[in-house]
Amino acid sequence: MASEEALQRFYTVLAAVPAGKVITYGQLAAQAGNPKGGRWAGYLLRHLPANSNLPWHRVVNAQGKVSFPEGSEAALRQIALLEDEGIEFSNSNRINLKRFGAV
């Protein structure tokens, strides 16, 4: 089914994101075959298998920011992982997608 193929592409693309780079939900969904599946990407990431080695932390929204409320443990964890990979954050926890964008 196309859905399963899209899902496979989604995981493939996500796994293909190099360390030190980030990708937006929209781009991720677009490369997975759903140019308008931004929400779909978010849904999948949210229901991601716990024992997967997928770099979910390299996925940020179009604003170059974490899609979690600032201060939340999930957001802090993601930011910490990204910084550990060399990603730099601006004064507002924003990432320069022009520099760190995987696309």
Contact positions vs DNA (CB under 7 A): 3, 6, 24-26, 34, 36-43, 45-46, 48, 56, 59, 61-63, 67-68, 74, 78
The answer for residues whose C-beta is within 8 angstroms of residue 88's C-beta and 6 or more apart is 95, 96, 100
Question: What's the number of CA atoms in the CB half-sphere (13 Å) around residue 23?
Answer: 26
CA 34 centroid distance within chain: 15
Q: Smallest distance from the beta carbon of 86 to DNA, in angstroms? A: 19
Smaller CB separation from DNA, 18 or 61: 61
Smaller CB separation from DNA, 5 or 88: 5
Q: Residue 34: count other Cβ atoms within 10 Å of its Cβ.
A: 19
Q: Smallest distance from the beta carbon of 80 to DNA, in angstroms? A: 13
Q: Smallest distance from the beta carbon of 102 to DNA, in angstroms? A: 13
Question: What type of residue sits at position 48?
Answer: L
Smaller CB separation from DNA, 59 or 102: 59
